[in-house]
Amino acid sequence: MIEIKNLKKNFGEKKVLKGINLIVEKGDRIGLIGPSGCGKSTLLRCVNLLEKPTEGEIIFNNNDICKLSDLSNIRRKIGMVFQQFNLFEHLTVLDNITLAPIKLKIMDETTAKKEAIKLLKEIKLDSYANSYPKELSGGQKQRVAIVRTLIMNPDIILFDEPTSALDPEMIGEVTELISTLANNGMTMVIVSHELNFIKSFCNKVAFINDGKILEIGTSKEIFNNPKNEKLKSFLSKIKNK
Amino acid sequence: MNYIIENFYYSVIYDNRYKFILEGLRNTCLIAFLAVILGTIIGVVIAIIRNYHENTNKLPILNYLAKVYVTVIRGTPSILQLMIIYYIIFKSVDVNIVFVGVLAFGINSGAYVAEIIRAGINSINKGQIEAGYSLGLNYSKVMRYIVFPPAIKNILPALGNEFITLVKETAVGAYIGIVELTKASDIIASRTYDYFFPLIIIAIIYLSLTIFISKLLNIMERRLKND
Ligand SMILES: Nc1ncnc2c1ncn2[C@@H]1O[C@H](COP(=O)(O)OP(=O)(O)OP(=O)(O)O)[C@@H](O)[C@H]1O
Ligand SMILES: [Mg+2]
């Protein structure tokens, strides 16, 4: 579905991604792990072109999306969920979800609202349709943010630490929703420090260090039988915390 | 007491002198009102050019001109700008002097409004903007639906201050002979040889105007907040 070839990203002089190769197949649940600052977020942000890659290719539906000038059509097929939720604070929950499909003329207003309510019902937040984001808890906000990408009917969703900003008791409701999506066949790439979640949930895991993927494999291979020394020490540090 | 009444009579009523005050009030309001509209239009355009350039690196020349404009206007006295427009640019043209005032104060205000709007745009956190892009919205849709609605609420107080400043700034127009409030009081005083009532009266008028505007803005702000 997505093939990332020799992806590099510099911020000025600073080299952050140093040649990433990664293939995402339909239905994959890929976990990205690695120490803070290694480039996980940057990699996700390059995939939906919030950052423009310095070099390399990202093949999506047979197109190198780095070369496209109109990003709109690509971005709506690649959903993104952020650590800080990033709901539109001035809009109600319902309007947050329907804004893009209406303004991009994918749905008319009635259809979009119906669809949004249906999705909100599935996450049991339909009673909050007319509330503003500031009235929601963190877990509720994140679930609305996920639904906001779902209504675009994306081919893949990128999650950048979706539970890091949450109080511990709210992590479950969000990971549960993510699991439901996965069971329905959604393709996803997840950056998370919740290694237990990654371990049980992802079919593939990539360990990134200093802008390169040092090891990639099934989640069993990565967590139970790591080969790379840096990965070993990364895992043991986390375990000992 | 008689002296005061007599003084008031000669300053205001005799020879219909109050008509100068009325004309001055009309011109002050007209210039401030039209200039704030012109200034807002210029300010929005300049702010969008600069923001668009910052986001996409396109329009480098326009962005450069916008920067020069803001720097020059904010770096020189408004009275000087007014004089340059009147005595140099419109030197040999027969032009309505109130129009010159509107133009000069509008151009002046535009630079300040542009900076206010830029600050307003920057007050919206980047995450919401990125969320908009990630849903497939383009620059203009992100601006229109995600940035401007909350930004306008944030900048309304500053824009209101700019309008109030503008009302007072129009007094500078007296210098090139626009009969606005300050010039009107000057005309009367030059006939009565007494500045007391002319100055006190226009002071009260300026104060009423600015208090009225700030009350109006407070109401607007409250409305927006409750939306
Ligand atoms: N816009 C930017 N400009 C300059 N440097 C940046 C920018 N964005 C990220 N970086 C740098 O790139 C490096 C990688 O950042 P990134 O956010 O991708 O790391 P990360 O793996 O997601 O870390 P974390 O686990 O802390 O979220 C960091 O050193 C960061 O300072
Ligand atoms: Mg990160």
| CA–CA dist A232, B130 (Å, integer) | 35
Instruction: State which amino acid sits at residue B44.
Output: V
A183 CA to middle of ligand 1, Å? Answer: 31
In this prediction, residue B12 carries a pLDDT of 85
Q: Is the ipTM of this complex over 0.90?
A: yes
Sheet with A156-160: list strands edge to edge. Answer: A78-81, A156-160, A187-191, A29-33, A204-209, A212-218
Q: Note whether A179 contacts B: Cβ–Cβ < 8 A.
A: no
The predicted pLDDT at position A240 comes to 64
User: How would residue A69 be classed by pLDDT, with cut points 50, 70 and 90?
Assistant: confident
Residues B23-180, CATH architecture: Orthogonal Bundle (1.10)
Assess whether the C-beta atom of A162 lies below 6 angstroms from ligand 1.
no
Beta-strand pair A2-11/A14-24: antiparallel
Beta pairing, strands A187-191 & A29-33: parallel
- Interface size between A and B, measured as CB pairs under 8 A: 67
**Left if phi > 0, otherwise alpha if psi is -120 to 50, otherwise beta: which for A186?**
beta
Specify the range with the lowest mean pLDDT, choosing from A65-69, A128-132, B36-40, B156-160. A65-69
A-chain CB neighbours of B149 within 8 Å are 90
Looking at per-residue confidence, does A194 or A114 come out higher?
A114
A192 lines ligand 1 (CB under 6 A): no
Of A15, A42, A160, the residue with max ligand 1 atoms within 8 A of its CB, to mutate for a pocket test, comes to A42
Burial (CB < 10 A; 0-12, 13-18, 19+), residue A57, is middle
Quick one: closest CA in A to B128, which residue? A86
Which chain B residues have a beta carbon less than 8 Å from that of A87?
A: 128, 131
The amino acid sitting at B53 is H
Can you tell me the distance from the alpha carbon of A80 to that of A159, in angstroms, rounded to the nearest whole number?
6
Of B9 and B61, more confident: B61
- Cβ contacts of B71 within 8 Å, gap of 6 or more: none
Residue B59 pLDDT grade (very low, low, confident, very high; cuts 50, 70, 90): very high
Q: Is the pLDDT of residue B2 over 90?
A: no
Tell me if chain A has a CB within 8 Å of the CB of B146: yes
State the Cα–Cα distance between residues A21 and A26, nearest whole angstrom. 17
- Out of A8, A9, A13, A14, give the residue to mutate to test ligand 1, the one with the largest number of ligand atoms within 8 Å of its CB: A14
Q: Whose CA is nearest to atom 13 of ligand 1?
A: A37
C-alpha–C-alpha distance, residues A192 and A190, integer Å: 6
User: What distance in Å separates the CA atoms of residue B22 and residue B68, rounded to the nearest whole number?
Assistant: 38
Q: If we measure between CA atoms, which residue out of B127, B145, B149, B125 comes closest to residue B137?
A: B145
CB contact under 8 A, A75 and B135: yes
How is residue A203 written in tokens?
């079919």
**Does pTM surpass 0.95?**
no
Domains and CATH numbers, chain A: 2-239 (3.40.50.300)
The mean pLDDT of chain B is 93
Rounded Cα–Cα distance for residues B158 and B113 (Å): 9
Rg (CA), chain B: 22
Report the C-alpha gap between B223 and B132 in whole angstroms.
26
Ligand 1 close to Cβ of residue A39 (< 6 A)? yes
User: How high is the pLDDT of residue B57?
Assistant: 87
Decide if A146 contacts A178 (C-beta within 8 A).
yes
Which of A84, A88, A145 has its CB closest to that of B146?
A88
User: Which residue spans within chain A are E strands per DSSP?
Assistant: 2-11, 14-24, 29-33, 55-60, 63-64, 78-81, 156-160, 187-191, 204-209, 212-218
Q: Is the CB of A206 under 6 A from ligand 1?
A: no
Question: What confidence tier does A96 reach under pLDDT thresholds 50, 70, 90?
Answer: very high
For residue B15, what pLDDT band results from cuts at 50, 70 and 90? confident
pLDDT at B227 over 70: no
pLDDT at A30 over 90: yes
Neighbouring CB atoms inside 10 A of B208's CB total 10
Q: Which tens digit of pLDDT belongs to each residue from B26-48?
A: 999 999 999 999 999 999 999 99
Please tell me the number of the ligand nearest to residue A12's CA: 1
Domain edges within chain B: 23-180
Model confidence at B221, pLDDT cuts 50, 70, 90, reads confident
Residue owning tokens 């105007």? B209
Who's near B174: CB < 8 A, 6+ residues apart?
A: B180, B182, B183, B186
Alpha-carbon distance of B111 to A9, in angstroms, equals 37
